[in-house]
Amino acid sequence: MRQRLSSEPDRYRGRRRVPTPPRSRYAAVVTTAFVGAGIVALGANALPDAKSVSPSVLDELRQASVAGQDAAARADSADRANRDERSTDSDATEQDPWLLPLHGYDFKAPYGMRWGKLHTGIDLVAPEGTPYKAIHAGTVTKAGWFGGYGYAVIVKHSDGSEAIYGHSSVVTVKEGQEVKAGDQLGLVGNTGHSYGSHLHLEVHVNGQPRDPVPFLQDHGVDIKLETEAIYADVVPS
């Protein structure tokens, strides 16, 4: 986890982590605005809904609104060609967010050794039939029965990483389909080697499983606290 000083000039950095408690209203408001209004439209529509939220949350949303307008203005700006590679990367990332796959789950089994073998993902317990969504844009490379994963969806992202969503009751996408973050992929279920209705989420980098918790934290999503950033990781790498 990167530590930031509040005096740092980069205005994106201060709100990469959401300072509000788990299951916060903030996450719900942001998600609704995100899905409903798109990224650059966020703010104007989201703020009235946020009036009952604490001042710090409102402040977060105002910053987001300003940033969204800035992003739109920059996109139209005539000096677009003068921007360096880093700012181009940031713009691309803002339009390509990372999100939670669903809300209202119980984080159950972490990544790591379990019952004498490696549990290669995390388990998010939710009722059967709960829709789950793509955590990031990409191409569906698998949609169907996948051994112990039951009915599963695999999405390959543009950065080469892959997300596997297992134990679905139903998958609602087809192989080869392009999806955006937040697009529904299937419904939570209990198929394959599963002990109860839950979403098994797995992240692979270079074909190897990674602990999704720190991986997603690096992209602005805290899957244990069930929070997601307005934008994905916009810190230039």
Chain residues binding Zn ion by CB under 5 A are 121, 123, 200
Residue nearer to Zn ion on the CB measure, 137 or 185: 185
Nearest to Zn ion of 136, 200 (CB atom): 200
* Residue 79: strand, helix, or coil: helix
CB of 47 or CB of 109, closer to Zn ion: 109
Residue 197 CB, shortest distance to Zn ion, in Å, is: 12
* Count of Cβ atoms closer than 10 Å to residue 112 Cβ: 10
d(CA 203, CA 7): 34
Q: Provide the minimum distance between the beta carbon of 205 and Zn ion in the complex, in angstroms, as a whole number.
A: 18
Q: How far is the CB of 45 from Zn ion (least distance, A)?
A: 37
Largest CA distance in the chain: 59
In whole angstroms, what is the distance from residue 127 CA to residue 134 CA?
A: 18
Q: Shortest Cβ contact with Zn ion: which residue?
A: 200
Least distance from Zn ion to the Cβ atom of residue 24, Å: 26
The phi and psi torsions of 38 (rounded to 5 degrees) equal 80, 170
d(CA 5, CA 13): 9
User: Between residues 43 and 166, which has the closer beta carbon with respect to Zn ion?
Assistant: 166
222 sits in which H/E element: strand 221-222
